[in-house]
Structure 1
Amino acid sequence: MGGDKTLASVNFANVSKTYDGKTSVVDELNLDVREGEFLSMLGPSGSGKTTCLMMLAGFETATSGEIFLDGRPINRVAPQRRNIGMVFQNYALFPHMTVAENLAFPLQVRNLSKADITSKVKKALEMVELPHLGNRRPAQLSGGQQQRVAVARALVFDPKLVLMDEPLGALDKQLREQMQYEIKRIHERLGVTIVYVTHDQAEALTMSDTIAVFNFGKIQQLAKPAEVYETPSNSFVAQFIGENNVLPGIVEERSGDLCKVRLENGDVLGALAVTSAPVGGATLLSLRPERIIVEPSAENRQHTTAQGEVVDQIYVGDHSRIQVRVFGRHEFVVKVQNASLRRTFDKGEAITLGWQVKDCRALDSASGYSQGHVQ
C-alpha cells in the first residue's frame, strides 16, 4: 500500500488516531490515492473510515503520522486552506440562499470576480443538469436535486480533491442508484480525485476505481472492485462484501496453492489456500452462492460435488435463492439465475451441488466486525 508520495494526490504515512490514548480508531495507516482516482473507503461503523476522511479534510487531527496532499504535508494546514471540496450526507446547503447563491459562496470566499462567479455557477448547474433551478431555495428542491447542488458546490471552485461522506445515504434506493451513476459520470468527465466513504458494498463496487476495506482502524484489502469481491484477502472481506457461504474447518493437507480442509461434520473439501495456516490450523472456507452449480451434468461435472437437501427456494426476480442443508449446516445458500434454472425444487428434495476447487477459498479463521461507534 505504500508508494512515492510525490506521485500521489493523497498520501497517509503511518497515520494513527486515538481519542483516549489507548484505543486506536485509525492504526498506522499507509495509503496512497493517485491523482484522478475514485477511491472508496468501505467498512462497518467504527472501522475508522470516516475518521480518515475527517483528518484529510482537516476537521480531525492525526495523533501521529503525516498526511500529504500533492507531496505537501497538511496536518497543520487549516481546513479552508486545503482547497478540498466536501459533500455531506445532509447536503449542508444554506437554506436562506438560492441554489445559485449556494454555489457562488465558495467562489466569493476565494475573491473571484462577479463575471467569473456567474460563469462558473452556470457551468456547475449545467454539469449536474439543473440549469433552470438556480433561483430556487433548497427547501423547494427534492432530495436528489439537493444532493446534485451539494455535488456542484463541492466542484464549482475546481478543487483537485473532493471528499464525499456517505453522500447518498438519505436517498431512496432508486434515486441512490441513479446518483451513483451521475457522480461516476461527473468523475470520469472531470478527472478530479474523489475519496468516498460508504458502508454500502454495492455502492463501492459500482462507483470505485479502488476500494479500501476498513476494519478496526486498518485496511484489510486495497484493490479494484472485482478483485475485492472475487478474491477477498481474508475472512472479514469475504463476509463483509457480498453474500458468502462460510464453512469452518481444519487444514488437513497442503500442496502448493491448494489445501484440503476437514469440516466440522467430518467431510473433507479441496480449496485454494489463501490462508497461511499450517496443517492442523483453523480456517474458514469461503464459497460465493453464485459460483455453485445446481445439478451439474456428467460432462460438465465440477471438481467438487456435494449432496444436500433443499430447505427452501425463494424467487427474487432475476434469480432464485435455494437454501440447502449440507455439510451439517442449514444456512448454505445457492444463487441461480432464473433464465438458466431448469426447474423448481421441493422442500426436502435431494439436490447435487458442484463448484470448482479454486472458487472455494480457505481464508484466515478470524472473523467478525468492529463494534465501535466512532466512525
Structure 2
Amino acid sequence: MSDAKTGVGANGETLVSFRGVQKSYDGENLIVKDLNLDIRKGEFLTLLGPSGSGKTTSLMMLAGFETPTAGEILLAGKAINNVPPHKRDIGMVFQNYALFPHMTVAENLAFPLSVRKVAKSESIERVKRALAMVQLDKFRHRYPAQLSGGQQQRVALARALVFEPQLVLMDEPLGALDKQLREHMQMEIKHIHQRFGVTVVYVTHDQGEALTMSDRVAVFHQGEIQQIAPPRELYEAPHNSFVANFIGENNRLAGQLLSRDGERCVVELAQGARVEALAIQTGEPGAPVMLSIRPERVCLNGRSADCANRFNGRVEEFIYLGDHVRIRLEVAGNTDFIVKQPIAELDPALAVGDTVALGWQVEHVRALDPSPVE
C-alpha cells in the first residue's frame, strides 16, 4: 500500500469501460438500458440515483455478481464479462460489513491475503499498515461483535484495501450508521482515497454524500445516466429537470417559451410575468418549459434591486435551521417557493403575510425540459 498519492485521473487513463451494457432479469424490462461509461484510474466516482434506477445493478455487474444481458465491461483494457469475481482484483465494501464473525479483526484482514497466497511475513506487515490506516491498531485481537458499527465499517474498508486492489467498489457502505458517524466516515473514506489514490466506485442514493465525497457523480434514472459531472457542475448546471430536482433543493416555475436568442431565452409564466433565463433544454417558441432556480440564489429586498428578474412574493412560513432560515413564499402562483437566508442576513422585521421584493440574475435561472418529477 504505497503512500504515493496519484493525481485523480491525472493521466486521463481509463481503468473501467462499460460499452453498450444492458441488464434485464425477465427478458423484457431493462434495469440498465445502454450504459456507456469510462471510469478514470485514480478517481472517486459515485453512482447516484433513486431505488431501481440501475446504479447497484451496474456496480454488481462490475463486481461480477451479475452478468450483463448485452454489451461488454473492460477492466484495464481486458473484457471481464466471463471472469469470476475473485479473479477481478477488486475490493468490495457492503452496507452490512460482511465480516467473518468467528475471526478477529486481524484475521479478517489477513483472509484476502491468504487467499492470494501472500507470504506470512508480508501479510503481517500489510495487516499492520491497513489497521494503522483506519486507526484500529489496538483492536486487532477483537471480534466483530465487540466493535461498534463505525469500527466494523472501518475494518471492512481496511479489508477491501489490504490486498492493494486496482479498484474498490462500495455499495451504500454508510447506510446503517447514524448521521454524525456517517458524516465522519465520509471524510475518512475521502481522505484515504486522496492519500492512496485507489480508484473508487461508490453507490448511494444520498445526494449530500455524493456531493461531499466524489470527483465525479453519475446520476442514474430509469436505467440511464442523466448526467455525469463534478459535484459543483452537477449542482450549479443541471442538464435536465430530473437532475435539477434530484440534486439539492430546487424552485420550479412552469412556463412557456416566448423566444430564444443564443444561450438566453424569455419564458412567460402562467400569470403573465416574464423571466429571462439560460436556455439549457428548450423546444421551439410556444413549447412548455420548467424554470429551475436554487433557493440560495434568490435575493430579497434591497439585494434584489440589481436583478434582471424581479418579483414580489408573500411570506408563508419560516423554517429555522440554526445557521440559516428557509423562507417559504408564494411567488408567481407557486406557494412552495423557497429562499435560503443565512441568519446574519435575515431581516428580523420580516413576518408571515408580508410582501417582499425578490429577484435573481439570468445566470442563476435555467430553462429545462418540462418533464414532471417522478
TMscore range, shorter length: over 0.9
Query: What is the deviation of 1:342?
Result: 3.2
- 1:280 and 1:269 map into 2 onto residues whose CA distance is 14
Matched, 1:18 2:24: yes
- 2:102 and 2:297 map into 1 onto residues whose CA distance is 54
Distance 1:54 1:297, change over 3 A: closer
Which of 117, 130, 152 pairs up with 2:136? Answer: 130
Query: What is the deviation of 1:275?
Result: 1.2
Query: What is the deviation of 1:256?
Result: 1.3
Matched, 1:303 2:280: no
Question: What runs of 5+ residues in structure 2 fail to find an aligned partner?
Answer: 1-11
Asked whether the 8 Å contact 2:218–2:227 carries over to 1, the reply is yes
Secondary structure at the aligned position of 1:275 is classed as coil
Asked whether the 8 Å contact 1:16–1:28 carries over to 2, the reply is yes
| 1:65-122 Cα shifts (integer Å, max 9, x gaps) | 0000010000000000001000000000011110001001000101111111111110
| 1:95-153 Cα shifts (integer Å, max 9, x gaps) | 11100010010001011111111111100000001100000000100000000000000
* Equivalent position of 1:70 in the other structure: 76
One-letter code aligned to 1:19 = Y
Which of 332, 356, 359 pairs up with 1:327? Answer: 332
* Equivalent position of 2:343 in the other structure: 338
* Equivalent position of 1:365 in the other structure: 370
One-letter code aligned to 1:340 = E
Asked whether the 8 Å contact 2:109–2:158 carries over to 1, the reply is yes
Asked whether the 8 Å contact 2:48–2:203 carries over to 1, the reply is yes
Aligned length: 363
Secondary structure at the aligned position of 1:157 is classed as coil
Matched, 1:97 2:107: no
One-letter code aligned to 2:243 = V
- 2:349 and 2:32 map into 1 onto residues whose CA distance is 49
Matched, 1:180 2:186: yes
* Equivalent position of 1:205 in the other structure: 211
| 1:254-305 Cα shifts (integer Å, max 9, x gaps) | 111111111122222111100131101111100000000111347x521111
Matched, 1:263 2:265: no
How does the TM-score come out when normalised to structure 1? 0.95
Query: What is the deviation of 1:343?
Result: 2.3
Which of 308, 314, 320 pairs up with 1:315? Answer: 320
Taking the TM superposition and a 5 Å limit, the aligned residue runs for 1:238-249 are 238-249=244-255
Which of 190, 194, 198 pairs up with 2:196? Answer: 190
RMSD in angstroms over aligned alpha carbons? 1.1
Secondary structure at the aligned position of 1:94 is classed as coil
* Equivalent position of 1:155 in the other structure: 161
Question: What runs of 5+ residues in structure 1 fail to find an aligned partner?
Answer: 1-5, 370-375
Secondary structure at the aligned position of 1:132 is classed as helix
- 2:197 and 2:349 map into 1 onto residues whose CA distance is 48
Query: What is the deviation of 1:226?
Result: 0.2
One-letter code aligned to 1:58 = G
Distance 1:210 1:297, change over 3 A: closer
- 2:60 and 2:349 map into 1 onto residues whose CA distance is 51
- 1:333 and 1:264 map into 2 onto residues whose CA distance is 19
Secondary structure at the aligned position of 2:137 is classed as coil
Asked whether the 8 Å contact 2:215–2:231 carries over to 1, the reply is yes
- 2:127 and 2:302 map into 1 onto residues whose CA distance is 59
- 2:274 and 2:138 map into 1 onto residues whose CA distance is 65
Secondary structure at the aligned position of 2:278 is classed as strand
Which of 348, 356, 369 pairs up with 2:353? Answer: 348
* Equivalent position of 1:58 in the other structure: 64
* Equivalent position of 2:9 in the other structure: none
One-letter code aligned to 2:295 = P
| 1:165-205 Cα shifts (integer Å, max 9, x gaps) | 00000000000000000000000011000000000000000
| 1:23-50 Cα shifts (integer Å, max 9, x gaps) | 1100110000000000000000010000
- 1:138 and 1:24 map into 2 onto residues whose CA distance is 39
Runs of 4+ in 1 over 3 A off after TM superposition: none
* Equivalent position of 2:91 in the other structure: 85
Taking the TM superposition and a 5 Å limit, the aligned residue runs for 1:103-118 are 103-118=109-124
Query: What is the deviation of 1:344?
Result: 4.3
* Equivalent position of 1:38 in the other structure: 44
Using CA pairs below 8 Å that are at least 6 residues apart, which structure has the higher relative contact order? 1
